Amino acid sequence: MLILCTQTLSGQGLKVVITEIMADPVPAVALPPEEYIELTNISGERIDLSGWGLGTGRNPAIIPDGVVLEKDSIIIICGKQSVTHLQVYSRVWGIERFPTLLNDGDTLILYDRDSAIHHAVSYNPIVMPAHKRDGGWSYELVDVKAACSILSNWIASSNTLGGSPGIPNNSPTSIPDPKHFSLLHAYTLDSMNIILVFNDSVDTASARLRERYILEPAIPINDVFSLSPFYNLIRLELNDAMEPGKIYNITARDLQNCLQEPLSAFNGTKTGIPHTFPDNIIINEIMNDPPPGGSDYFEIYNNGDKIIDLKYIRVGNRNSRAEISSVKPLGESTRYLFPGDHMAFTTDLAWVGNKYHLKAPSQVITIASLPSWPNETGNIVLLDTAMKVIDELKYNENWHSELVRIRDGVSLEKINPRAETQDKNNWYSAAMHSGYGTPGYQNSQHISNQIHDDEVWPEPSLFSPDGDGIEEDCEIKYRFQETGTIATIRIFSRNGQVLRHLANNVLCGREGKFSWDGLDDKGKKAGPGIYIISTDVFQLTGKTKRYRFAVTLANKNF
């Protein structure tokens, strides 16, 4: 989900940029309780703003004649009634019909005198830390050199006044990382038009070439359009219609963002024509007991064979009278969930990304708010737009493994997606190797339809942790039929001494792995030679087994 974004028709050729927005000044921290917008001249030359426009809708307020920005200067734009309150801080200009800045977020556009979009910002309080979301703090642009980029370039002001009107922002400079320029997802306007959604503004020169996009099954592309105001959306106009029910894979190549940074390896996605009713969508995972400073998340799974648009789904809970309550949308924009895919939702993507292994980052979405789900027991209810229940779970913390003593941050996972959601035996604690949660991808406790014996094995049995990037670790892989398997893994030298305690009474998933990097318990590199890996497993049913195997460590640095 894009939270706060910027762009211009000429890529990085900006002359004047929006550098600060005070959209919700009440309750005031130390500044006057007045809305304002800060503009900064970064062109290196004198700019006449006469006739330029500022607005959040189709009829922007016009900056009157006589407003000139000198080289590297800053001006505060506000309503006329706010001038006397703000002029103590810097040069201020009050305008008629100053744009209404919504507290809950909006899009603010700066137009040049020819009514062309020069700079656009979409702000949202989600970028604010929780203690600043109630008002009194401004949004500040971090790096004016990357003002066209929409990648993490806006944060809440750190100024003790609540904002820094008229002076350079004191936020630490942070230029977006080029490896993160990615294709997020795609959706269809109709059978002839596809919208590609990128996480950054795409350079329009590289975007307009049809050969930069490949569809499979193949459909010729008739034309390509970059969409304002942020230019992170590309519309593909097709020569032939897509078939209903068919999934199309799309690959973008040789694109750059507005900073001329190349597209990352995340350059592919899927699309198709969605089904209008969200059937066969199930609740698949919940983490409703985060540690202090953390955020809840929950996950859904498409258990059917149709493409589903998430805008048709709501999530809620039940109040003390068992009535459906606190209903929230799963998204305000179009986003598809494909057959066999997972999608997780949270209010704090940064925290979830730091806490868990995000194997599919694009499958975790930030939303404004989630219903309240108590730690001990509660209800998660999925609904369609007509408030008809799609799926429902009344969970209980006792469904966790009895060996998980600290449950903060440990999710409950559905074991078999095709089994009943309310079956308490179909839920279990996420495994340790997954970080105790699997938001956006297959559950660690997922059961497959394939019948197999319990297995533990090393791969590769000969490894060389010498820094060449080839077979650096020995992975101890496992596959178990039952949930609740506990493993202890120790590594012995040939003379029988314990070299490394790799895992001690660790909760496993149905499939997973542990990695040995060739270090002992003190962090010292083990010498080349043969080592014995001993894995003891036991289950709550009383079943125990020991697996022992030899591996060879070959280290050319010795």
Closest CA to 12 of 258, 334, 291: 258
Mean pLDDT, residues 102-120: 93
Residue 481 confidence class, pLDDT cut points 50, 70, 90: confident
* 160 half-sphere exposure, CB direction, 13 A CA radius: 0
Question: What is the distance between the alpha carbons of residues 381 and 383, in angstroms, rounded to a whole number?
Answer: 6
Closest CA to 198 of 142, 248, 147, 269: 269
For the chain, percent of residues with pLDDT exceeding 90: 71
Secondary structure of residue 7 in the 3-state scheme? coil
Question: What is the distance between the alpha carbons of residues 353 and 200, in angstroms, rounded to a whole number?
Answer: 19
DSSP structure string for 13-37: --SEEEEEEE----S-SSS-S--EE
Q: What is the pLDDT of residue 7?
A: 42
pTM confidence score: 0.79
Mean pLDDT, residues 199-217: 94
Question: What is the distance between the alpha carbons of residues 128 and 27, in angstroms, rounded to a whole number?
Answer: 15
Mean pLDDT, residues 316-322: 95
Strands 474-479 and 53-55 turn out to be: unpaired
Burial letters 395-426, b for 16+ CB under 10 A, else e: beeeebbeeeeebebbbbbbbebeeebeeeeb
Residue 8 confidence class, pLDDT cut points 50, 70, 90: very low
Q: Is the pLDDT of residue 2 over 70?
A: no
Q: Is the pLDDT of residue 9 over 50?
A: no
Question: What is the distance between the alpha carbons of residues 366 and 126, in angstroms, rounded to a whole number?
Answer: 9
Residue 542 confidence class, pLDDT cut points 50, 70, 90: confident
For the chain, percent of residues with pLDDT exceeding 70: 94
* Measured distance between the N- and C-terminal CA atoms of the chain, rounded to whole angstroms: 49
* DSSP assigned state of 238: E
**Residue given tokens 């979301």 in the structure block:** 133
Q: How far is CA 279 from CA 297, 312, 331, in A?
A: 22, 10, 17
> In this predicted model, what pLDDT tens digit does every residue of 126-175 receive, in sequence order?
888 889 999 999 999 998 888 988 877 899 999 999 999 999 987 655 54
Q: What is the pLDDT of residue 332?
A: 75
DSSP structure string for 427-492: EEEPPGGGTS--TTS--TTPPPS-----EEEEESSEE--SSSSSS-SEEEEEE-SSS-EEEEEEEE
> In this predicted model, what pLDDT tens digit does every residue of 389-436 receive, in sequence order?
999 999 999 999 887 888 999 999 999 898 899 999 899 999 887 889
Strands 313-318 and 308-309 turn out to be: unpaired
Amino acid code (one letter) for 216: E
Q: Is the pLDDT of residue 40 over 70?
A: yes
Strands 281-287 and 297-302 turn out to be: antiparallel
Dihedral angle sign, alpha carbons of residues 266, 272, 275, 280: negative
> In this predicted model, what pLDDT tens digit does every residue of 444-460 receive, in sequence order?
888 765 556 788 999 99
Q: Is the pLDDT of residue 541 over 80?
A: no
Q: What is the pLDDT of residue 368?
A: 85
> In this predicted model, what pLDDT tens digit does every residue of 244-295 receive, in sequence order?
989 999 999 999 999 899 998 889 999 999 998 888 999 999 999 999 989 9
